């Protein structure tokens, strides 16, 4: 079991932070707010301490699952990442920490997360939460680890990401606070899932050449750069419309004037789509010329996708908070 002490523990924690991809952890807070915004109803009698405890427990469970999934991905992608200059920091951190030590840490984290999940289930004894928790862990493993390695299986990779990054975490929080599944929530969830994968496609675009050379068939490798760019534009556009309609109807039923905040999603999507159109244009040029300089421009532009992820998530977070406020202001 991994139980370091003193300076070794501090160094290991820094390395563990790196291999856990902390840049993606804020998405857990977004999932929490989205789930809360759609599930909480002022008409219900909430106990403040119980609600606060459930919020803390749900967020903790999401963080553990997310960290374990990221660490499994770093561990499984070590060989591929060693060939990618932009990911050398992950390889160095993993090598310094040690692959065997990281495997022990994964077991330790799973055991650490159990008490939080058990307390949550004691308060909210719902079989669906148990099913989502188990499925989330299994999918985190199956996505990255051979021989299943869903991330190398084109449309299965897309489906896995839709589930792991959107549907499962938001639904987990939502079902923690309610058992009623509303049609508008399902419309929002469909739109949010589309938008999430739309901003993940540039990550696959950035890694296109390395993935293709190593037989990793992501959705982008399977479709090709041009079709993948079209898919990203389509998913972001349709997803944005779905979310906007769901939010507009939900907010209008509570406090109509606050619907103006939907502009946050519109503006964010337009900013991202402008970059996506450039990515599409470059992809078309590359498909015709196979020019390495254009390939480099595609990689450079695609590497900006963390900004697009943050912009998209922040816009949805803002409107989710507005929906939550509208319910209590009505």
78-85 LR contacts (CB < 8 Å, sep 24+): 80/207, 80/210, 80/211, 80/214, 80/216, 83/210, 83/214, 84/207, 84/210
Q: Which pLDDT score, from 0 to 100, does residue 84 have?
A: 79
Place of tokens 């999401």: 62
Residue 164's contacts (CB-CB under 8 Å, 6 or more residues apart) are 69, 136, 139, 140, 143
pLDDT (tens digit per residue) in 286-315: 999 999 999 999 999 999 988 998 899 999
Q: Which pLDDT score, from 0 to 100, does residue 1 have?
A: 46
pLDDT (tens digit per residue) in 211-250: 888 888 888 999 999 999 999 999 999 999 999 999 999 9
pTM here is 0.89
Q: Which pLDDT score, from 0 to 100, does residue 83 have?
A: 81
Q: What are phi and psi of 179, to 5 degrees?
A: -110, -5
Domain map (residue ranges) of the chain: 1-180, 182-330
CA angle 162, 30, 326 (to 5 degrees): 115
Which of 265 and 8 is assigned the larger pLDDT?
A: 265
pLDDT bin (cut points 50, 70, 90) of residue 113 is very high
pLDDT bin (cut points 50, 70, 90) of residue 59 is very high
Three-state DSSP string of 127-188: HHHHHHHHHHHHHHHHHHCCCCCHHHECHHHHHHHHHHHHHHHHHHHHHHHCCCCCHHHHHH
Mean pLDDT of 35-52: 85
d(CA 58, CA 72): 21
Work out the percent of the chain whose per-residue pLDDT is above 90: 70
In CATH, which of 1.10.357, 1.25.40, 1.20.120, 3.40.1360 is domain 182-330? 1.20.120
pLDDT (tens digit per residue) in 167-190: 999 999 999 999 999 999 999 999
The answer for 180, left when phi > 0, alpha when psi is -120 to 50, beta otherwise, is beta
Mean pLDDT of 6-30: 82
pLDDT (tens digit per residue) in 187-216: 999 999 999 999 999 999 998 998 888 888
Q: What is the mean pLDDT of the chain?
A: 91
Cβ burial of 8 (10 Å; 0-12, 13-18, 19+) is exposed
């Amino acid at each position: 079991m991994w139980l370091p002490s003193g300076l070794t523990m501090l160094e290991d924690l820094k390395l563990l932070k790196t291999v856990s991809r902390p840049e993606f952890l804020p998405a857990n807070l977004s999932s929490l707010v989205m789930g809360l915004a759609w599930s909480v109803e002022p008409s219900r009698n909430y106990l403040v301490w119980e609600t606060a405890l459930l919020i803390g427990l749900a967020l903790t469970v999401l963080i553990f699952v997310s960290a374990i999934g990221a660490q499994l991905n770093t561990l499984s992608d070590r060989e591929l990442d060693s060939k990618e200059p932009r990911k050398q920091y992950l390889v160095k951190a993993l090598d310094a920490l040690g692959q065997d030590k990281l495997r022990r840490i994964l077991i330790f984290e799973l055991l650490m997360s159990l008490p939080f999940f058990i307390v949550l289930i004691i308060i909210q004894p719902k079989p669906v939460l148990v099913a989502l928790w188990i499925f989330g862990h299994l999918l985190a493993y199956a996505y990255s680890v051979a021989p299943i390695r869903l991330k190398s299986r084109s449309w299965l990779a897309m489906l896995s990401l839709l589930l792991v990054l959107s549907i499962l975490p938001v639904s987990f929080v939502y079902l923690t606070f309610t058992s009623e599944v509303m049609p508008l929530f399902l419309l929002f969830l469909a739109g949010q899932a589309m938008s999430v994968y739309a901003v993940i496609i540039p990550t696959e675009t950035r890694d296109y050449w390395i993935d293709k050379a190593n037989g990793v068939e992501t959705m982008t490798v399977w479709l090709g750069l041009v079709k993948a760019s079209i898919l990203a534009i389509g998913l972001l556009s349709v997803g944005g419309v779905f979310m906007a309609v769901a939010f507009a109807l939900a907010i209008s039923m509570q406090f109509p004037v606050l619907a103006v905040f939907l502009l946050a999603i519109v503006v964010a999507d337009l900013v991202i789509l402008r970059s996506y159109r450039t990515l599409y244009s470059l992809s078309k040029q590359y498909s015709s010329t196979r020019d390495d300089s254009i390939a480099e421009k595609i990689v450079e532009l695609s590497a900006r996708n963390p900004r697009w992820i943050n912009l998209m998530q922040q816009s949805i977070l803002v409107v989710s908070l507005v929906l939550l406020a509208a319910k209590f202001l009505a």
